[in-house]
Chains A and B, each alone.
Chain A
Amino acid sequence: MITHPVPAIRTYVLVWVGLIVLLLLTLGSAFIPLGWGNAAINLAIAVAKSLLVIFFYMHLRSAHYVLRIAATAGFFWLAILLGLSLTDFVTRY
């Protein structure tokens, strides 16, 4: 039988606590008028939450680099999709 090194339950629970704290932060920040800052904070917190899930729950922190490249590729092409589309939509009107 193979034995696998797995993170402690504590790690998973702490990540969950972090996710919930970030959820409360993003919810609370929405009630403070900051103009475009609200959108920036919301987006930054969403990215932070996603990174927690990706690195700890999806195990990319300890994954082989080939997996990290595959994971990055998805977001890289999404950035191209978003970036090139917006060059049109932002400048057209």
Chain B
Amino acid sequence: MTEAVVVDRQFDDPLQQRKASDLGMWVFLATEILFLGAMFVAYTASRIHHPEAFAIASRLTNLTLGSINTGVLLTSSLMMALSVRSTKLGLRTASIVFLLATAVLGLAFLGIKFTEYYLDWRDHLVPVIDFAHRGPHAGEIETFFYLYFFMTGVHSIHLFIGIVMVLVLAWMAWRRHYSPDYFTPVELGGLYWHLVDIVWIFLYPLLYLVSRT
């Protein structure tokens, strides 16, 4: 039923190989944290200097769509976690269904996000291309929207990569590549998906909830 697990020659056994893969993935995730962290540092420095402008700008974001999207992404993480669990137990069909559900929710997130971009564009909130906001803090509000588009854009690119990855995983699961003896790609894919989710967990309050009172 299952293929023999291939152990590369530098490893003693499949368990050591899997532990090495897990460690490698976490080291990669640490580089991602620092790469994405730089954007958060830029955001923090700007917000400390322009608190009023960030409060006004945050009220111009679409709270309804942003909140729904947060729920969509949190649910996708549940689907991903359940898929990893199913794969470990050898429940192939359930694993594929959960992977596809993850991908569908990821696509729904991107669909809502791009709807939001369209509304921002319609409201003339896109820096450089069409930014028409006037008032005492116009320049600083534009800075906020630079950060908004850059941070959510980088996040969306990560999510897009994640969706492609999840679909490939579903295809490989369909081809019976994974079993309780070998599920490393699904497990590592799950770690990546959850990290992208965590990035959004921080983006949501920083961009949408600065000041709503």
Interface residues of chain A, those whose CB is within 8 Å of chain B, are 1-4, 6-7, 9, 12-13, 15-16, 19-20, 23, 26-27, 30-33, 38-39, 42-43, 45-46, 49-50, 53-54, 56-58, 63-64, 66-67, 70-71, 73-75, 77-78, 81-82, 85-86, 89-90, 93
Contacts and interface: CB of A to CB of B under 8 A. Distances in A.
A2 B15 CA distance: 10
Contacts of A82: 37, 40-41, 44
Contacts of A50: 198, 201-202
A60 to B, nearest CB: 9
Given A12-B82, A57-B80, A89 B45 contact: yes
Interface in B27-51: 27, 29-34, 37-38, 40-41, 44-45, 48-49
Contact of A86 (B44, B85, B179): B44
> Interface residues of B: mostly helix, strand, loop or mixed?
helix
A57 to B, nearest CB: 4
Contacts of B23: 66-67, 70
Contacts of B10: none
B45 A71 contact: no
Interface stretch (B69-77, B125-133, B142-150, B168-176): B69-77
Count chain A CB atoms within 10 A of each CB in B30, B63, B210 and give the residue with the most: B30
Contact of A38 (B45, B191, B211): B211
> Interface residues of A: mostly helix, strand, loop or mixed?
helix
A53 B76 CA distance: 12
CB-based closest 4 A-B pairs: A74-B30, A42-B205, A74-B33, A70-B26
Given A81-B37, A89-B48, A53 B30 contact: no
Contact of A78 (B27, B34, B80, B181): B34
B88 A4 contact: yes
Given A49-B198, A81-B34, A86-B45, 4 more contacts: A6-B89, A49-B74, A63-B22, A82-B40
Contacts of B85: 6-7, 9, 12
A86 B85 CA distance: 41
Contacts of B210: 39
A74 B88 CA distance: 27
Contact of A46 (B67, B205, B213): B205
Contact of A54 (B40, B198, B204, B209): B198
B90 interface: yes
Given A32-B213, A67-B23, A27 B180 contact: no
A7 B81 CA distance: 10
B78 interface: yes
Nearest to A32: B213
B92 interface: no
Contact of B74 (A13, A23, A38, A42): A23
Contacts of B48: 86, 89-90
Given A1-B180, A53-B77, A57-B77, A89 B49 contact: yes
